[in-house]
Structure 1
Amino acid sequence: MSRRMQVLRIVAAGTMAAAISSFSAMTAAWAADTIKIGSVLSMTGPASFLGDPEDKTLKIYVDKINAAGGVDGKKIELVVYDDGGDANKARTFATRLIEDDKVVAMVGGSTTGTTMAMIPVFEEAQIPFISFAGAVEIIDPVRKFVFKTPHTDKMACEKIFENIKQRNFTKIAMISGTDGFGASMRAQCVKVAPAYGVQIVAEETYGPRDSDMTAQLTKIKNTPGIQAVVNPGFGQGPAIVTRNYAQLGMSSTPLYQSHGVASKSFIDLAGAAAEGVRLPAAALLVGDKLPDNDPQKKVVVDYKTTYETTTKQPVSTFGGHAYDGLSILIAAMDRANSSDPKKVRDEIENTKEFVGTGGIVTMSPTDHLGLDLSAFRMLEVKGGDWVLVQPGS
């Protein structure tokens, strides 16, 4: 090869290297101007009533944040995967978010099962994870990088038993779903019942695919002395229980559902049988009925208006969990003046008096939820809508 050709090749190689270096710098600069946040939700499948409003909420508010200039001038890039309610898929997507997408934080996890599958992935990677699922086991024991926004199943049991005690009931039955949430809440109710003077005298269960619970409810009906029935569960199961309950003529015995069905879709599925059903839920479902001096009123009314105007669908507490989680995360990034995962984690834990749709949140190193029992409102279905149960009734 001639010396001239060698020189030309060296020059060409140098030019290519410079071009690659320049492209890499541009790519890095572009990446520095965005903040990647991950989300794994159950947008399809049996838990889609959770994941769909969560997904819509995140997208609405990420667009709002970006339109307002982003976080410290950087745009949020939301990376969302649909696990269909499958825990194995959720774990796979969690790994992808970390290894391929390089997210700095995670908001999501529609169900207890999918959340629990993802926790080890984010804990190992030291990426903050704010879950939208209900079970207390998500944050008890406390894990350094894991937080959640919904009230826990333990709190739901306590709120229900508080109301049962006010009504001077002492003997109840439970019919529980065998899904992750139903099983977890059932265990929590069994654990806290004695503190409220409540005796569980009959128990039945149903599977996620069961379409008729008449046999289980008949056994409960024939058990002497039952003053109320509690149904830990989510999805279509509680609506089926409610319809069967009415069909068996059991409506004179109060029926309590969990916050796992706190949406208008439960009332629609259960129909007239839902009348009189009580459940603990966030203020969001009765935002317009709150007194004007309630600190949550403006937040829940604004979120409800934004969500319903944008989606043309009724609001649910589940979308509210996503609003709270994203808001807490963005506020933590603002306080940290950084998107560094460890600094953001510290600021999430430092959340104080954040007014959200689920309540007023104050977290600490020993509390990665930050809500107390006052964040729950006891609601009753009347006239096809939610109403606040007055204290003592």
Structure 2
Amino acid sequence: MTCHSHFKSLAIAAAIALPLSGLSIYSPALAQQTVKIGSVLSVTGPASFLGEPEDKTLRMYVDKINAAGGVAGKKIELVIYDDGGDANKARTFATRLIEDDKVVAMVGGSTTGTTMAMVPVFEEAQVPFISLAGAIEVVDPVRKFIFKTPHTDKMACEKIFENLKQRNFTKIAMISGTDGFGASMRAQCVKVAPTYGVQIIAEETYGPRDSDMTAQLTKIKGVAGVQAVVNPGFGQGPAIVTRNYAQLGMSATPLYQSHGVASKSFIELAGPAAEGVRLPAAALLVGDKLPDGDPQKKVVVDYKQTFEATAKQPVSTFGGHAYDGLYIMVEAMKRANSTDAKKVRDEIEKTKGFVGTGGIVTMSPTDHLGLDLSAFRMLEVKGGDWTLLPPGT
């Protein structure tokens, strides 16, 4: 029996034995000398566009790491649960990872809601948790065992407002999702707007299951003086907003989205209406368009080629967050020459100059993200694809 077929049979056996567990993969490594790393992801459900590429990324790169000899003398045993985007399930699985699976570290948490439900579990157990969620509240205030890889919603607001300022736009409207990420980003944008001389003169919201935002956008359209519209949100909502925006003939007013829609699926869902939309995102989406001297170019191009060849789907920044989280964790274990949870935590916090898909990461006791605004690129949809905006445009 080949290693691959043996792994498949194990996965099938696990699925049969645990029909209600949500466990999607257990162990790609069977050696006695293993280190267990856990993950709880939204592989199915409304946030699957986040969780699915994260899941595929973790699987493919754990296999690569194990094939190269593992970490700190041990093979990685990966335990992944699918929370379906449900925060209560996420917390249950987090507890299971600690109490039953005895993981020494965790990379996961596709959404802000599921992440925040799991934070107390890992903090109390003193097990390092690198989240893949967007909101700043994951790492602010700093908690000893909690880290994250994606740019924050506050940074997204700052990058958007920086661009608005360059274009001399001072009066905007916001239409925000009421989900955890949308609500958090809306609050951050309201907070930082005055710093950039931006006035929010109209505001609307929509729920995660809403399928038409025409009424809210019609109200915004009726407010005089709106120079641009900002849409904090993720999932299908922003694509619906973008389509309704075009249907109402609002396309002459610039529309900004967040990094919460930084995948090709947003462009596919929004269709031609996405043309001209701007958003801040990681370099990963425009890796091939980066100058050769860019320190991130090799990392993002290699990840994109590996992911697309293996997963047979376009790369997204979300899988990239999982790549960054896994390798920050693995490099911390290598530096510690240990898989002890507390030693690994200490080394994660000492991460310096890590070149990832999201940027160049340097963490500290007061910064458990380690990215600054330069890690964000401002993109615009042109010809049905992402283009990199030159600085100052």
Q: Does 1:352 align with 2:368?
A: no
Cα distance in 2 for partners of 1:257, 1:100 equals 41
| 2:72 and 2:339 in contact (8 A); partners too | no
Deviation per CA, 1:65-105: give whole Å up to 9, x if none: 00001013311000000000000000000000000000000
Cα distance in 2 for partners of 1:355, 1:70 equals 20
Cα distance in 2 for partners of 1:334, 1:389 equals 38
Cα distance in 2 for partners of 1:173, 1:389 equals 22
Which residue does 1:130 correspond to in 2? 130
Deviation at 1:296, TM superposition (A): 0.1
Q: Does 1:331 align with 2:343?
A: no
Deviation at 1:390, TM superposition (A): 1.1
Q: Does 1:387 align with 2:387?
A: yes
Report the count of equivalent residues.
364
Letter in 2 for 1:181: F
Cα distance in 2 for partners of 1:70, 1:337 equals 12
Letter in 2 for 1:349: E
Relative to the length of structure 2, the TM-score reads 0.92
* 339 and 32 in structure 1: CA distance in 2 versus 1, 3 angstrom threshold: farther
Letter in 1 for 2:58: L
SS in 2 for 1:85: coil
SS in 1 for 2:291: coil
What is the 5 A alignment of 1:102-117? Answer: 102-117=102-117
Determine what percentage of the aligned residue pairs are the same residue.
Answer: 88
Letter in 2 for 1:129: F
What is the 5 A alignment of 1:290-305? Answer: 290-305=290-305
Cα distance in 2 for partners of 1:204, 1:385 equals 28
Which residue does 2:284 correspond to in 1? 284
Which residue does 1:179 correspond to in 2? 179
Which residue does 1:307 correspond to in 2? 307
Cα distance in 2 for partners of 1:80, 1:215 equals 41
Cα distance in 2 for partners of 1:339, 1:122 equals 16
Q: Does 1:68 align with 2:68?
A: yes
| 2:285 and 2:317 in contact (8 A); partners too | yes
| 2:31 and 2:75 in contact (8 A); partners too | no
What is the 5 A alignment of 1:2-21? Answer: none
Deviation per CA, 1:210-248: give whole Å up to 9, x if none: 000000000000000000000000000000000000000
Letter in 2 for 1:193: A
| 2:172 and 2:200 in contact (8 A); partners too | yes
SS in 2 for 1:220: helix
Cα distance in 1 for partners of 2:75, 2:296 equals 28
Cα distance in 1 for partners of 2:32, 2:234 equals 41
Query: Runs of at least 4 residues of structure 1 off by over 6 A?
Result: none
What is the 5 A alignment of 1:25-64? Answer: 33-64=33-64
Cα distance in 2 for partners of 1:274, 1:255 equals 9
Deviation at 1:139, TM superposition (A): 0.1
| 2:255 and 2:277 in contact (8 A); partners too | yes
Give 5+ residue unaligned stretches, structure 1.
Answer: 1-29
Letter in 1 for 2:240: I
Which residue does 2:15 correspond to in 1? none
Deviation at 1:32, TM superposition (A): 5.6
Which residue does 1:206 correspond to in 2? 206
Which residue does 1:363 correspond to in 2? 363
Which residue does 1:9 correspond to in 2? none
Give 5+ residue unaligned stretches, structure 2.
Answer: 1-29
Which residue does 2:80 correspond to in 1? 80
Deviation at 1:31, TM superposition (A): 7.6
